[in-house]
Structure 1
Amino acid sequence: MKHTIPELLSPAGSPESLKAAVENGADAVYLGSNEFSARGHADNFNRDKLLEAIDFAHKRDVLAYITVNTLVKEQEIEDVVQYLEQLCNHGADAVIIQDPGILNILNEHLPKLPIHVSTQMSIHNSAGTKLLGSMGVKRAVLARELDIEEINTIRSATDIQLEVFVHGAMCICYSGRCLMSSFIGGRSGNRGYCAQPCRKEYSLEGNRIRSTMSSKYLLSPRDLNLSSRLPDLINAGVDSIKIEGRMKRPEYVAVVTRTYRDILDRFSTDPTAGATPDEMRRLEVIFNRDFTEGYLNGDPGRKLMSMDTPGNRGILLGHVTGSNPGRRTISVKLDATINVGDGIMAGDKGTSIRLLWMGWHKVQSAKAGEVVTFPYGSAIASGTPVFKTFDSTLVASARKTYRSVQRKVPVTVQVEAIKGHPLLVRMSDYHGNTGISMSENLISSARQQPLGELALEKQVSKLGDTNFQAEAINIRMDDDIFIPLSMINSARREAIEEISRLRLAGYRRVCGSIGLITPHPPDVKDHRPVLSVRVAGPDGVYAAVLGGAARVYVDIEGITGNEPATNTAIEEAHRAGIAVFIRLPDIVKNKEMTLITRTLDKLHGVDGILAAGPDQISWLKEMYDLPLAVDYPANVFNTQGLDFLTGLGACSITVSPELTLDEIARISVGYDIECLVQGSVQLMVSEHCLIGGIKRCNIPIGKGCDSQIEVNGEVKGSMTTEQVTRPCQPGSTAGGVTGCSIRDKKGFVFPVRHDNQCRTHIYNSKELGLIDSIPGIIKAGVRSLRIEGMFYDAKQVGEVTMLYSQAIDTYLKNPAQYDESVYLSRLKMMFPGNLTTGHYFRGVQ
């Protein structure tokens, strides 16, 4: 079976990077303005320059996808709508989006503008792609956490295009689900301003960890490199392969784009094509944190992580053989070539090579096997490895590739030079665009030397630094004629201008003006604000009911295998008039859906399901006639997002914890909105098992607890739950679901939990506590206040629920007599010195 070569999609975080991508063979580029873009720290483009960048790409037959992939606040909707209209009219080939509200706007008002859904939407199953297809989405950028089998499964179930990252930096968290930068420093990754806390040092500790791990970069992944796995992705039917790097240097974009272009070009004659040793070295030296193939074969454990350094490692240059503190130099025996101008790293210090000696002779370069000496700021022990992190020769050659126009569009030129007629020049491309130019003056007879055909062809073919190249020139001319060079040049120039205009006009659209966007709330009837509580299992259900909760969410992980006890708890809740919803996992891949439905089918009297995202709503509403609520990982920031989810059938929606109370008040009218008021806010969910990767785990990579046991390559039978050594689980000697944590350099401790699929969940260092803000929350139009009680034991669930229930009742009965300080002091006794109000009063950037 012959497979189509996928599109090569490269980053363009600056005008120079745009040129680097285009000139080195990108089929498409992705770029953004300095607003509504997930790389707010990149150089980016203002709106006028962005339109020019789109034209630059289109002139060279390169597609331009524009990133509008942040969450948008309600007060920004009008501005983003005008921006989308502008992009649609100008001819952007697609917009890459994250916000479900923006998807709603595009689907309803701008159907001509193609939609690509960003990896920020965490698309990780067939239900997600099916939903997107029904919404008119053209392409989904799949989550990086999928293995090749899962990509194949999704491909077989959808007709929309699939895009996969193949190279560059990786997030440890599922993209779009990370709140860590936001809660630590107010800089939201969902708004384009991630401060990259995953690249900071943390120590691992806990009462079940045998020994505290010294501070390392525990959350810092290696860089993705799938240059040797392109055949697998091509055979899986991936439509586009994507290079990460809008914040990288243009030289990086040039080298990586050229490498993947060359590999793809070889694939037609070599179906096993991968990077050559020289290409791999180029990829390594231009930038790497060590390389990984990511999750393509499942969680690779510790091999996913770059725990020793979060920055560029380059390549091994050699090892220190000695140092001279007096001269402040070191000597190194080389394993690779070095040149003056290169950058090196030894230990945790780097420098640029300005001087280089071999013996007593100054040199400009040296080869592997030789010993060189160069200035270095301090003495360093012999045997210390030295890495080359900047290759001046490679960078210089990369710059040459985009400093001048090299990528040309082939055109056919037809010239008619007939005596007594204007000079006619036609210039046509493969898309059917033809620029025609006719001279104002007529062609005259030659008085002396007539113009020959070769001379005319030479002059017409001078396309210079334009983006055109004459592939064929056809001339019909009289023999005895004279044409001034100025007439030829003018006709050629006008033909170029005309075909350029026509080529760009072909991209333009008439999308119209949307005007004012108005929300369409379901007009939920006013009701008394209720208290909901999320708990870990059946015991928590009893405690929440006794404490006065009106609705209980119980995590399905605490139910699976314990369905009879859960049914009993549901019956008890119903006797008290309390609704019980089942909360699904944050991530449910295709192969995990059967376990979910099997558990749900064993439950009796469930009142509803709390889904983590739109994919779960789409999947479950076809199977169960139950109310469906949506949790905060759905990232609802605006009324359009609320409209999107209510349109899917959501009865209640928990808004993003990154919104302030004022921002919630802007969007609450007419909707059944819930917000978090108490508990541990999840900051990350990762496919990687943090503890298992450090402490080792005998579950085969990418498998569950029912895996086969393999010893020395031989299958020895099935692995039962009792046989599994999971250092992250309670009862083991090495860890625990809530028995471990990570500590940052400032001393803040973040609890860590691992779920039944070995995913890592990291929670905020401080307990959210808003009991003193109940009046403001209710006035903001919030219909349900939620306690996140998954980490509480039954006693704590009951106590915290009762305290909030009493506070809400007291305020609603007599607002003027409500004294929030009484309840706050009682809450502080439960959680001394460890409360935060989150973003409800400070917001995010």
Structure 2
Amino acid sequence: MIRRKPELLAPAGDMRSLIAAVENGADAVYLGIKDFSARAYAGNFTIDEFREALDYAHMRGVKVYVTLNTLIKDTEMEKIAKLMQTLDELGTDAIIVQDMGLLSLAGKIVPEMNVHASTQMTIHNSEGVRFLHDMGVKRVVLAREMALSEIKEIIQNTDMEIETFVHGALCICYSGQCLMSSMIGGRSGNRGYCAQPCRKKYDLYRKGKKVSTNGKFLLSPRDLNSSDILPELIEAGIGSFKIEGRMKRPEYVAGVVRIYRRLIDRYMENPGRHFVSEEERLQLEQLFNREFTTGYFKGNPGNDLMSRERPYNRGVRIGKVKGFDNKRRNLLLELSGELNVGDGIVFEAEQESGSIVRQMYKKGKPVKEAGKGDIVSVSSDVLHDTETVVYRTLDSSLMKELEQSFESPGLRKVAVFMKIRAFAGEKLELLVRDEDDNSTCISSEYVIETAIKKATTEKDIKKQLTKLGNTVFDAQDVEISIEDGIFIPIKEINELRNRAVSELEKMRVEGRRRPEHKPFRESERSAPANINQKPLLAVSVSDPASVETAVSSGADLIYYERKNCMQYDNSDLSQATAYTEGMDVPIYLHTPVIVKDSEMPGIERIMNAANESGFEGILAANIGVFRKANESGIPVIADSNLNIFNRESASMFMKSGAGTVVLSPEMNYEQIRDISSSTYTEFIVHGSLRVMISEHGLIQNLTGPDLVSDPGCRDFELIDKKGFAFPVRTDCSGRTHIFNSKELCLLEDMPKLIDSGVSRFRIDARMTDNSLIKKIVSSYRKTIDSYFSTEDDNVREGKCRDISKEYTRGHFHRGVL
């Protein structure tokens, strides 16, 4: 494999951060437009601000990618379509999307625009990458849970550009699959409003008893730092190295970009001499860290992934409490590192406190700075015990240094080549070409004369041509063809240079613009002929006995998930179909959300075994399995994990082979109704909603690996500070599944849901005891049948309290931000 220099991609939450990224060596930046960004709490850009940012970056040869990586409501589709057209016209280098409907729409209305698939799409296998390649995607940002060996396999198996995160915050849940913030407070991570419940305190309970754990922040990961393994990432063929941090300050962006720029260049210049200096390590640590991890690149890191004691910036350890300064009522600190007035410090204690050092005393005298071995007196709101460790969370001198790196104008230059011809009797002619092969040739109106007194020399011309002042250009080479004894006024040389530079600037910015689009108009959609038939009642179960119960209680369709997804004994499949045969109840195989390349052959084997056992098809929860089933000719239903949130995404999956699409549980009634009027839809109306799926084995890492195969492993819960209990399960692949604290129940809303036109309702009974399945299914069956009964004008509505202890109506009424 030919070693290629990866792109260094930096975050920009605002204009100052963008300048910081560009001036410190980023090859590209990614940023959000207000309203449509997965970091809604970042500054983001208005269109006017974006135009300025785009011109600034393009002038300096830096690409700009716009993050449109949220789920889009139908009511927003026209607005975002017009935005995409504007972005395309301005010359945006790429858009980053999560919503499959937006991806489909982009292919129709901005076909020349490069589209990158966000990590929010949860792409983690080769089949998923191939699906996106067929849809015209230029680049895929892989899930952060990928090992380097798995990334290599995808790169070798596909023709796609691959991007991975290399530094910054990590999510404990697979991106795009987290509903925890959404279900707790209506702030959807899929809409850019994550409230970070993973950074909160939780207690672990088993069978009602508290389990002792190290730390309380049980879902808080460390920060990713790939500096030490950069050579392996480069050699793997990853095309773009992405730094997380659109909500970080500009100095953070400047510092991290500067170090990764050095490391990449250092390795490319001399692959045998990669190193990270102590200064570089310290700066990365100082800028922000929750402790560092290399993530999943080297395999599952287990407990080394987590920062359970502190979910926020740890800073750098710089000393400990030595005693008390009675005179000033300050704390005495014994320093093991540098401390300056203006620095931020925090004391690691049960009652943590932090402050900015406003004054500092050494041996009774005020000082501005102190170093290792010094004992200094500083103020603190809390009088901490001796030996309490002190961390520096803000290095004021480093911040000033980094600020200078982007506040000083004109640091990043674009190399230009100049060629000028000067002969008597001819016009002065100047050619200027930049490092990107943009070129312009300018001639003067002035006709060169023979010198009467002092002749113009080659040195005189070069001096004037290289006076590029505050422009972005730097003359790397000047070729001068000149006739001896001629005279050229300096103002003519300057004017010619200025005209050439102005033309070149125009080329670098306006040369990327694209033609104006026709105004976008959303097309009308016609409903399928039998869209308003009596809806079916589907039930998801995870054992053959529950199949029998669900069918006998009135289920029209069964989704069957194997408890041991990779088992070779297929007798359970035959047992499951035995209960549906002769009952006119189709049964589908419920496939996992996460299926990596190493697991795909096993899933194929099970799909084939299910087909042979009489299963009708499969329920696909990731794009890779969806494509594989289609390729194999197996009927497939697109599950809710594919985040089908609008008519465009529903239509895309139907056209791609789905028999039915399962709508996102984050949708409200109006959204459900709008999509169901034109598409065969399914909606989950009852059950325990999964709010997180994680590659991290929470239970086995907190309690030990023996419990993974223990049936009692089903009895774990995470309990938050309000007392809400979130069930935790470990699947057969060791992944963690966390479920909502309250069961979803829409039984009382069924008449309204039926009116919305939904084709199929699902009860998710995989977490439900068989003894309760009959009661739940029967209740929904009676309500649906009563609605369509010609003998009774009143719909018999069941009550949620009769079938659920603790329940929620989810987002059916309120929706999400």
For the pair 1:327 / 2:303, whether they are aligned, the reply is: no
- Structure 1 residue 214: deviation in Å? 8.2
Residue 743 (structure 2) aligned to one of 767, 779, 784: 767
Residues 483-632 of structure 1 aligned to structure 2 (within 5 Å): 483-510=488-515, 512-513=517-518, 515-518=520-523, 523=528, 525-526=530-531, 527-557=533-563, 561=567, 563-603=570-610, 604-623=613-632, 625-632=633-640
Between 440-449 and 15-24, the greater mean CA deviation after superposition: 440-449
- Structure 1 residue 396: deviation in Å? 1.1
How far apart are the structure 2 equivalents of 1:328 and 1:691? 46
- Map of 2:226 onto structure 1: 226
Encode CA deviations 1:263-282: one digit per residue, 9 max, x unaligned. 11111213462422221111
Residue 481 (structure 2) aligned to one of 476, 481, 484: 476
* Preserved CA contact (<8 Å) 1:325 1:378: no
* Preserved CA contact (<8 Å) 1:529 1:785: yes
- Structure 1 residue 298: deviation in Å? 2.2
How far apart are the structure 1 equivalents of 2:420 and 2:53? 32
Between 412-421 and 683-692, the greater mean CA deviation after superposition: 412-421
- Structure 1 residue 454: deviation in Å? 2.0
How far apart are the structure 2 equivalents of 1:197 and 1:328? 38
Paired amino acid for 1:332: L
Residues 51-66 of structure 1 aligned to structure 2 (within 5 Å): 51-66=51-66
Residue 416 (structure 2) aligned to one of 411, 416, 419: 411
Paired amino acid for 1:246: R
- Map of 1:384 onto structure 2: 388
For the pair 1:823 / 2:798, whether they are aligned, the reply is: yes
- Map of 2:15 onto structure 1: 15
- Map of 1:755 onto structure 2: 731
- Map of 1:703 onto structure 2: none
1:218 alignment partner, SS class: coil
Residues 18-417 of structure 1 aligned to structure 2 (within 5 Å): 18-207=18-207, 211=211, 213=213, 216-268=216-268, 269-271=270-272, 273-324=274-325, 327-347=328-348, 348-403=352-407, 404-417=409-422
- Structure 1 residue 594: deviation in Å? 2.4
* Preserved CA contact (<8 Å) 1:519 1:639: no
* Preserved CA contact (<8 Å) 1:320 1:333: yes
How far apart are the structure 1 equivalents of 2:308 and 2:572? 43
* Preserved CA contact (<8 Å) 1:343 1:353: yes
- Structure 1 residue 486: deviation in Å? 3.8
- Map of 2:771 onto structure 1: 795
* Preserved CA contact (<8 Å) 2:607 2:618: no
How far apart are the structure 2 equivalents of 1:686 and 1:56? 40
Paired amino acid for 2:606: T
2:588 alignment partner, SS class: strand
From the superposition, tell whether residues 189 and 213 of structure 1 become closer, same or farther in structure 2 (CA, over 3 Å).
same
- Structure 1 residue 171: deviation in Å? 0.6
- Structure 1 residue 371: deviation in Å? 1.8
* Preserved CA contact (<8 Å) 1:324 1:379: no
* Preserved CA contact (<8 Å) 1:556 1:585: no
How far apart are the structure 2 equivalents of 1:378 and 1:528? 67
- Structure 1 residue 415: deviation in Å? 2.8
- Structure 1 residue 299: deviation in Å? 2.0
* Preserved CA contact (<8 Å) 2:426 2:448: yes
Between 309-318 and 415-424, the greater mean CA deviation after superposition: 415-424
How far apart are the structure 2 equivalents of 1:378 and 1:76? 50
Paired amino acid for 1:550: D
Paired amino acid for 2:593: D
Paired amino acid for 2:814: R
How far apart are the structure 2 equivalents of 1:501 and 1:361? 58
How far apart are the structure 1 equivalents of 2:575 and 2:298? 41
* Preserved CA contact (<8 Å) 1:751 1:763: yes
How far apart are the structure 2 equivalents of 1:308 and 1:635? 33
Residues 423-462 of structure 1 aligned to structure 2 (within 5 Å): 423-443=428-448, 449-462=454-467
* Preserved CA contact (<8 Å) 2:181 2:194: yes
User: How many equivalent residue pairs?
Assistant: 808
Instruction: Using the aligned pairs only, state the percent identity.
Output: 40
2:788 alignment partner, SS class: helix
How far apart are the structure 2 equivalents of 1:639 and 1:837? 23
Unaligned stretches of 5+ in structure 2? none
How far apart are the structure 1 equivalents of 2:358 and 2:440? 53
* Preserved CA contact (<8 Å) 1:66 1:95: yes
- Structure 1 residue 537: deviation in Å? 1.4
- Map of 1:716 onto structure 2: none
How far apart are the structure 2 equivalents of 1:384 and 1:437? 70
How far apart are the structure 1 equivalents of 2:17 and 2:441? 33
From the superposition, tell whether residues 651 and 326 of structure 1 become closer, same or farther in structure 2 (CA, over 3 Å).
farther
How far apart are the structure 1 equivalents of 2:273 and 2:180? 40
How far apart are the structure 1 equivalents of 2:786 and 2:777? 14
Paired amino acid for 1:284: E
Paired amino acid for 2:697: C
From the superposition, tell whether residues 521 and 215 of structure 1 become closer, same or farther in structure 2 (CA, over 3 Å).
farther
- Map of 2:815 onto structure 1: 843
- Structure 1 residue 135: deviation in Å? 1.5
1:817 alignment partner, SS class: coil
TM-score, normalization: structure 1?
Answer: 0.92
- Map of 2:660 onto structure 1: 652
How far apart are the structure 2 equivalents of 1:743 and 1:274? 44
Encode CA deviations 1:785-813: one digit per residue, 9 max, x unaligned. 11111111111111100010001111121
Encode CA deviations 1:17-64: one digit per residue, 9 max, x unaligned. 111111111111111211211111111110122122122111111111
For the pair 1:637 / 2:645, whether they are aligned, the reply is: yes
- Structure 1 residue 192: deviation in Å? 1.1
How far apart are the structure 1 equivalents of 2:391 and 2:578? 65
Unaligned stretches of 5+ in structure 1? 698-724
How far apart are the structure 1 equivalents of 2:123 and 2:566? 25
* Preserved CA contact (<8 Å) 1:90 1:507: yes
Paired amino acid for 1:538: P
Residues 657-696 of structure 1 aligned to structure 2 (within 5 Å): 657-696=665-704
How far apart are the structure 2 equivalents of 1:610 and 1:524? 24
- Map of 2:717 onto structure 1: 741
* Preserved CA contact (<8 Å) 2:91 2:513: yes
* Preserved CA contact (<8 Å) 2:26 2:257: yes
Between 247-256 and 665-674, the greater mean CA deviation after superposition: 665-674
Paired amino acid for 1:142: L
Between 606-615 and 166-175, the greater mean CA deviation after superposition: 606-615
From the superposition, tell whether residues 785 and 97 of structure 1 become closer, same or farther in structure 2 (CA, over 3 Å).
same
- Structure 1 residue 539: deviation in Å? 1.5
Paired amino acid for 2:347: A
How far apart are the structure 1 equivalents of 2:586 and 2:496? 79
How far apart are the structure 2 equivalents of 1:72 and 1:48? 23
TM-score, normalization: structure 2?
Answer: 0.95
* Preserved CA contact (<8 Å) 1:81 1:514: no
Paired amino acid for 2:786: T
How far apart are the structure 1 equivalents of 2:787 and 2:222? 52
From the superposition, tell whether residues 535 and 328 of structure 1 become closer, same or farther in structure 2 (CA, over 3 Å).
farther
